[in-house]
């Protein structure tokens, strides 16, 4: 079955530091890959996505590249801000699953804290 493995947190960085959160996956078929962000007290929001190999998703300074050869989708940001403090979830969707089998598989989440 499908699975997503994220690096365990928490991750604590100083403002303007470089961020990498690792994500690897196991999937049948040809999944789409997602990063979601959850700010304190809120629901999850889609941060970025990539739907095929070598695609790069980007949003708000965050980037992730769909690497089929290494089954990875690592999240990166060149210079983090205090406002980036949140929990980040990697997820995959097998678009070839049909009918009632469609659902996302989530990693366990990584808590990021950015200090001023």
> Cα(42)–Cα(87) distance, rounded to whole angstroms?
10
Does residue 104 bind another protein (CB under 8 A)? yes
Beta partners for residue 26, in sequence order: 3
Structural contact between residues 57 and 35, judged by C-beta atoms closer than 8 angstroms: yes
Does residue 17 bind another protein (CB under 8 A)? no
Give how many residues touch another protein by CB under 8 A: 23
Minimal distance, residue 71 CB to another protein, in Å: 19
Left, alpha or beta for 83 (phi > 0: left; psi -120 to 50: alpha)? alpha
Angle at 48 between CA 42 and CA 49, to 5 degrees: 125
Minimal distance, residue 116 CB to another protein, in Å: 26
Binders of another protein among residues 34 to 63 (CB under 8 A) are: 34, 36, 42-46, 49, 51
Does residue 75 bind another protein (CB under 8 A)? no
- Interface contacts to another protein, rule CB under 8 A: 32, 34, 36, 42-46, 49, 51, 89, 91, 93, 95, 99-100, 102-104, 106-109
């Amino acid at each position: 079955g499908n699975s997503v493995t994220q690096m365990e947190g928490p991750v604590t960085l100083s403002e303007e530091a470089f961020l990498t959160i690792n994500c690897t996956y196991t999937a049948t078929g040809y999944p789409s890959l997602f990063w979601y962000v959850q700010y304190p007290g809120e629901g999850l929001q889609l941060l970025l996505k990539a739907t095929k190999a070598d695609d790069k998703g980007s949003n708000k300074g965050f980037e992730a590249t769909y690497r089929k050869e290494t089954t990875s989708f690592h999240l990166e940001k060149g210079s983090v801000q205090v406002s980036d403090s949140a929990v980040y979830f990697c997820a995959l969707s097998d678009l070839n699953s049909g009918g009632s089998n469609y659902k996302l598989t989530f990693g366990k989440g990584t808590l990021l804290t950015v200090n001023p």
